[in-house]
Amino acid sequence: MNLNQLYYFQMLATYQHYTKASEKLYISQPSLSYAIKELENELGVTLFIKKGRNVFLSDEGKVFLKYVNESLKILDEGILEMRNYKKTQEKKVEIAIIPTIVNTYLIPILKQLNNEYQIQFRTGWTSDIINAIKKGKYDFGICSKEDDSTLTYLPLLSEELVLITTKNHPLSQKDNVTLEDIIKYPLITYHHDLAIAQPIKKLFEDKHLKPHILYELDDETSIASMVSQDFGIGLTANNDNLKPFDNIEIIHLHLKQDLRTIYLVYNSKKELSKAAYQLIDYLFNNHYQL
């Protein structure tokens, strides 16, 4: 018994006429007759009773048709599901992104693309993203750059260095805050071991200035929390982590350099999907922010 025999049986049961059924099946009438006869021999029953030019289901044929219809329906549903699954997989792109730019960068992109791509993303810190890409867990990542020649880094956007203060702080009233103004107050910024702290250190060193660093912390949320409680002023990247703090003032410093460059990173040794390449092209053509 094969699948064709079941389809042939179902079609003949529908039209009850060998000629009409064979035309619908695009096979010859003898081929249809032979297939039905072989099916009957295998089952050991008579499925059709001939009356004139027509045929009718026997009692055994009626019972068998019920199971054939159910089986072929399930099979057709499976075929449709596989076709839809293939279409979904062809549009699927898995990425990892640092959490600081999810709301301001990724979410607007997802809204614009609508359902053009099936983008699945996870957030994580740069080191975790890099390791995961090396292991092939994601198509690409959006994060900072590490000194690693095994991956390809493409600069995509940057984060501005800003000063944050309480709303009533004297510096919040100035039109143009300079580094000379900043060193007059206790400063809260990144821990010196972090890569992001190096550009801040260099800014002061280039002007032979020494800030009064009160606390060195690991992230923007921690820095903003201390500033919001008026422990001091803060130097930090301007990103989503500052948004929950409505009692701080974000002051743009009008510097010639940004604090941090964000890269699109991928493993060039891994063959990316067509959808992944298309999404990368889309990001650089429409959301390149350097």
Q: Domain ranges for the chain, please list them.
A: 3-90, 91-157+261-286, 161-257
- Find out whether 164 and 223 touch, Cβ atoms under 8 Å: yes
Whether the pLDDT of residue 256 is over 80: the answer is no
Q: In this predicted model, what pLDDT tens digit does every residue of 50-76 receive, in sequence order?
A: 888 899 999 999 999 999 999 999 988
- Find out whether 267 and 152 touch, Cβ atoms under 8 Å: yes
Fold of 91-157+261-286: D-Maltodextrin-Binding Protein; domain 2 (3.40.190)
Can 3-90 and 161-257 be said to share one CATH topology? no
Whether the pLDDT of residue 259 is over 80: the answer is no
Phi and psi at 146, nearest 5°, equal -110, 155
Supply the pLDDT for residue 118. 85
Closest CA to 110 of 101, 155, 238: 101
- What's the CATH number for 161-257? 3.40.190.10
User: Model's pTM, two decimal places?
Assistant: 0.63
Asked if CATH classification 2.70.240.10 holds for the domain at 3-90, the reply, yes or no, is no
Per DSSP, 289 falls in state: B
> Alpha-carbon distance 99 to 63, whole Å?
60
Pinpoint the alpha helices (H) of the chain. 3-15, 18-25, 29-43, 59-91, 107-113, 126-134, 179-182, 197-206, 220-228, 274-286
For tokens 């930090």, what's the residue? 236
Supply the pLDDT for residue 87. 66
Supply the pLDDT for residue 88. 63
